[in-house]
C-alpha cells in the first residue's frame, strides 16, 4: 500500500489533534449486553483520500469501514471478515474486509456515481437502493468460508446490519454509524457503536439502551468535537453498569505492494504480455481496488517482469 498525504496542512493538523482511532470493547447491564465503540475519523479520511472520493461516496463507503471496524471484534487470530453489499442504486454497493487486529480495506463498486437529482438529506437509502447484504467469515484452518445473506431492508447500513443479525444469527443487535463533514465536504468526525443482547439479557434491555443512544448527539459530531471513546461511553451509559474490557487498534491498511500487483500482469496471456511489452502505453499502471494505490511500471521494469 502506498501511503497518502493531505494537500491541506490545516486539515492534517485538525486530524492530528483528534484522539487516536480505535475500538473499545465493553459490556452493559451486568454483562448481559456486549458492545463496541469505534472512533475512525482518520480511517475514513485516509480512505477518502486514497480512493479519491467525493462526500457522497465517502458517506457510503465510510459507513462500511466503520461497520467493519466494529465487526472486527467478532473475529480472532488470523480470521478475516468481509462485509459486502450489492445494490441497484447509484453506488452499486461495496466490498469491505477486516481482520482481528482492526485493519480495514475495501472499495465502492461504482465511483464516482451520478444522481438524477440532488439529495435533500444525507440518506444512504437513495445511494444504495434495493439489493443484498452479506457477511463472509474466513476462519483460519477451515477450507471453506461461511456466508450469510439478507435482502437490504432500508438501504441504511446500521439498520440493515441489525436486520442481518436478527435473521441470520437470531440475535438482537443494534448499530449506530455516523460521519460528520466540514463545509468543504471533508470528514472531521466518524464513529460507530455496536450493541448485542446476550441470551440471558432481559427482554427489554437492548431496547432501553437503544432509546438512550438514539437520544444523544450523533457520534460523528461527538468525535469531531474532540471527545475520546472513554468519555463518550461514560456519557452514554452512566446507569447501565458499564464495564470496559479491551482497547484495540483501527487502521486503513492493505497488504498490497508492487510485486503483488505485478503478479497480475504476469498472469496475462502470452499475446497480451507481448503486446504490453511492445506498446505499453508506458508507464503501465496497475491499481489496487481495495486501497486505491497505483503502481507504475516503466518499459524496463515491464520487460524484466514479463521476460
Per-residue pLDDT tens digits for 84-103: 999 999 999 999 999 999 99
The predicted pLDDT at position 215 comes to 79
- Grid coordinates representing 71 are 465487526
Number of other CB atoms surrounding residue 235 within 10 Å:
12
Per-residue pLDDT tens digits for 54-63: 999 999 999 9
8 Å CB contact between 129 and 109: no
The predicted pLDDT at position 176 comes to 95
- What residues are paired with 247 via a beta bridge? 24
The predicted pLDDT at position 135 comes to 98
8 Å CB contact between 91 and 109: yes
> Which residue ranges make up each domain of the chain?
9-252, 258-305
8 Å CB contact between 263 and 252: no
Per-residue pLDDT tens digits for 217-242: 789 999 999 999 999 999 999 889 99
Which of 3.30.450, 2.50.20, 1.10.8, 3.90.1280 would CATH assign to domain 258-305?
3.90.1280
CA distances from 209 to 47, 204, 212, 245, 291 (A): 31, 9, 5, 18, 36
**Average pLDDT for the chain:** 93
- The dihedral built from the CA positions of residue 271, 277, 282 and 285, taken in this order, carries a sign that is positive
pTM of the model: 0.95
8 Å CB contact between 130 and 87: yes
The predicted pLDDT at position 171 comes to 92
Task: Give the span between the Cα atoms of 119 and 297, in whole angstroms.
Answer: 41
Within the chain, residue ranges assigned H as helices are 9-16, 41-51, 55-71, 125-128, 157-168, 205-214, 219-224, 229-236, 258-266, 270-279, 299-305
| Closest C-alpha among 292, 304, 296 to residue 258 | 296
Which of 3.55.30.10, 3.40.50.2000, 1.10.3720.10, 3.20.20.70 would CATH assign to domain 9-252?
3.55.30.10
Amino acid at each position: 500500500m502506498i501511503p497518502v498525504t493531505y494537500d491541506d496542512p490545516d486539515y492534517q493538523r485538525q486530524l492530528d489533534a483528534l484522539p487516536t482511532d480505535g475500538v473499545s470493547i465493553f459490556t452493559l447491564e451486568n454483562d448481559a449486553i456486549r458492545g463496541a465503540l469505534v472512533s475512525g475519523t482518520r480511517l475514513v479520511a485516509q480512505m477518502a483520500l486514497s480512493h479519491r472520493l467525493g462526500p457522497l461516496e465517502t458517506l457510503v463507503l465510510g459507513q462500511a469501514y466503520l461497520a467493519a471496524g466494529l465487526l472486527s471484534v467478532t473475529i480472532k487470530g488470523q480470521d478475516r471478515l468481509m462485509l459486502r453489499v450489492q445494490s441497484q442504486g447509484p453506488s452499486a454497493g461495496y466490498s469491505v474486509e477486516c481482520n482481528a487486529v482492526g485493519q480495514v480495506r475495501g472499495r465502492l463498486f461504482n465511483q464516482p456515481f451520478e444522481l438524477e437529482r440532488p439529495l435533500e438529506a444525507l440518506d444512504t437509502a437513495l445511494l444504495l437502493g434495493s439489493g443484498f447484504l452479506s457477511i463472509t467469515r474466513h476462519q483460519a484452518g477451515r477450507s471453506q468460508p461461511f456466508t450469510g445473506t439478507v435482502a437490504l431492508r432500508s438501504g441504511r447500513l446500521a439498520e440493515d446490519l441489525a436486520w442481518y443479525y436478527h435473521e441470520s444469527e437470531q440475535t438482537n443487535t443494534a448499530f449506530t454509524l455516523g460521519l460528520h463533514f466540514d463545509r468543504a465536504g471533508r470528514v472531521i468526525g466518524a464513529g460507530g457503536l455496536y450493541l448485542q443482547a446476550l441470551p440471558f439479557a432481559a427482554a427489554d434491555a437492548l431496547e432501553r439502551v437503544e432509546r438512550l443512544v438514539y437520544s444523544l448527539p450523533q457520534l460523528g459530531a461527538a468525535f469531531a468535537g474532540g471527545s475520546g471513546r472513554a468519555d463518550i461511553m461514560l456519557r452514554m451509559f452512566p446507569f447501565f453498569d458499564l464495564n470496559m474490557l479491551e482497547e484495540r487498534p483501527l487502521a486503513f491498511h492493505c497488504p498490497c505492494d508492487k510485486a503483488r500487483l505485478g503478479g497480475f500482469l504476469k498472469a496475462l496471456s502470452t499475446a497480451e504480455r507481448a503486446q504490453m511489452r511492445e506498446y505499453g502505453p508506458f508507464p503501465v499502471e496497475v491499481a489496487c481496488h481495495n486501497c486505491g494505490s497505483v503502481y507504475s511500471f516503466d518499459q524496463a521494469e515491464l520487460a524484466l517482469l514479463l521476460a
